[in-house]
Structure 1
Amino acid sequence: MIDELWLVHPDAEMQAAFRRRFDGLPGVRYFPGRFEELPQIDAFVTAGNSYGIMTAGIDAAVIRRFGTELMQQVQQHIANEFLGEQPVGTAFLVATGDAAIPWIVHAPTMRTPGNIAGTDRVYNATWAALLAIARQNRLHAQTGEPLLLRIAMPAMGTGFGGVAFDEAARQMAAAYRHLQNPPYRLDWDWVAERELTINYDNGRKVVR
C-alpha cells in the first residue's frame, strides 16, 4: 500500500482541484511546484504516449533529469513487452539509478498526443500506474527490497490531453479511492457502482 501520494502541479487552480477531489483520502500530499523541485520520493508517474517518445511535457522534464538512456529503456520495454505499442491502461516501472527518485512509472494516457477530454483515459492510466506500483511492492516484499511507499504523480491528461483540471483530479481520485477500497465481491451491482464513480460526477455523465 502507498503511504504518501504526492500530487504535483505548479498551478494554483490545479492544486485547488486536487484538494477538492482528494479530500478525505489518506496519505495525500499536495506539491505546488514542478517535477524538478520534488523532494526525495520512491517513484514518479509520468503520463506519456504509447510509444515512449518522451520529448514533450512532463516526459521531457523527466528525460532532462535522467538522460535519454531512460527513454531508450522505456522504448525497449515497449518493443519487447508490447510489440511496439503500449496500450493505454497499462503501466510499468523502470529503474533510474538515482537514489532521489529510484523508479519511473510509465503510464500513457494516449496513443499519440491529442485531446482525450470526455474519456476515461485519465482514470485508466492512473489506475494502471497504481496497480503497477502495487505489483512491484508485492515483488519487493518477497525479495526484501525497499517498498515504494512515497509516490508522486502529475496532473494526468491536462497538457496535450486537454482534460479540464477538475475532471482530471476527479478521475485520478476515483482511481486512488478504488485502490484504498478493494472489492469484497465481484457482481453486476458492484460493477455498476464502480462505473458510476468513473463516468459520472454528481449524477451527471461526464465520460462519453
Structure 2
Amino acid sequence: MTLVLCAVSEPLAEAWDAATGGRPDVSVHRGSVLDVPAQAVVSPANSLGWMRGGVDAVYAQAFPAVEQRVRSAVLAYHGGELPVGEALIVPTGVAAPEWLISAPTMRVPGERLPPDTVHPYLAARAVFRLWLEGTLEHGDPVRSVVQTIALPGMGTGIGGVSPQTCARQVIAAWDEVFGNRT
C-alpha cells in the first residue's frame, strides 16, 4: 500500500516533507491530487456529504455523480450523517481514480475548525482503517482493489487547519494504524 500526500501549496508540501520522516510507503506530491496515479482519492468533506467547496468541489466537477453517491451512502449506511472519525468509499464513475473515500474533517459545510482540533487525525485514521480492514459493497476487501491512495491536506482549506498540524496528525494516524515502518 502506498500513500501519496498531495499539496497544491508549498507550505503544505514542506509540512508533508518534514512529517513523513522517510516512511517507505508514504510520498509527497506537489500538485493536484488528481494528477496522482492512484486507485482512490480522499475527500475531507463534511459529515453530510455535501461537496461544494475546496477540493470537494474539484472532485464534484471531475466526477459528476460522486456527490450523489456519497450522500446516498451517508444516508443509507449512517442515517444521513457520517461522523468525523468514520469513512466510506464510493465509485467515482471514471476509470482512474476509480474510488473516492469520504472522511469528514468537519460536521457541517464551511465549518472553521479550532486550532486545537484533532479532526485531521480522526479523518486520516478512518481512511487508513477503511483501507486496511474495510470492504466494498460487493464484499471485496478495499485493500484488494486500492493499492495507492492520494490524500490532500485534511482540513487545511476551508477548515483552516495549519499545514503543520495536518501533517503531524495524518502521520500520527498512519503510525497508529500501520506502525512506524522507517
Q: How does 1:124-135 map to 2 (within 5 A)?
A: 124-135=122-133
Partner deviation per Cα, 1:114-152 (whole Å, 9 max, x = no partner): 22221111100000011111124695359xx94311110
The answer (yes or no) to whether the contact 1:115–1:160 under 8 Å persists in 2 is: yes
Q: How far apart are 1:54 and its partner, in Å?
A: 0.3
Give the 3-state SS of the residue equivalent to 1:73 in structure 2: helix
2:57, 2:32 → 1: CA distance? 12
Counterpart of 2:39 in structure 1 is 42
SS across alignment from 1:44: strand
Matched-pair identity in %: 31
Q: Aligned equivalents of 2:132 and 2:159: distance in 1?
A: 26
| Aligned position for 2:76 | 80
CA shift for structure 1 position 30: 1.1
Aligned position for 1:14: 12
| Residue type at the aligned position of 2:140 | H
Equivalent residue in structure 1 for 2:96, among 94, 100, 118: 100
Between the aligned partners of 1:8 and 1:163, the Cα distance in structure 2 is 15
Query: Any idea what SS the aligned residue of 1:80 has?
Result: helix
Partners of 1:137 and 1:148 within 8 A in 2: no
For 1:30, the equivalent position in structure 2 comes to 28
Q: SS at 2:111's partner residue? A: coil
TM-score when normalising by structure 2: 0.89
Q: Rate the CA distance shift 1:79–1:146 in 2: closer, same or farther, 3 A.
A: same
- Gaps spanning 5+ residues in structure 1: where? 183-208
Counterpart in 2 of 1:53? 50
Q: Which runs of 5+ in 2 are unaligned?
A: none
Structure 1 outlier segments of 4+, above 2 Å: 135-142
Aligned-partner Cα distance in 1 for 2:37–2:170: 22
Provide the secondary structure at the position in 2 that maps to 1:158: coil
The AA in structure 1 aligned to 2:48 is Y
Larger radius of gyration: 1
1:176 aligns with 2:174: yes
Matching residue's letter, 2:60: I
Equivalenced residue count is: 176
Paired AA for residue 169 in structure 1: A
CA–CA distance in 2 between the matches of 1:130 and 1:137?
13
Distance in 1 (alpha carbons) for counterparts of 2:23 and 2:83: 28
- Please provide the CA RMSD for this pair: 2.0
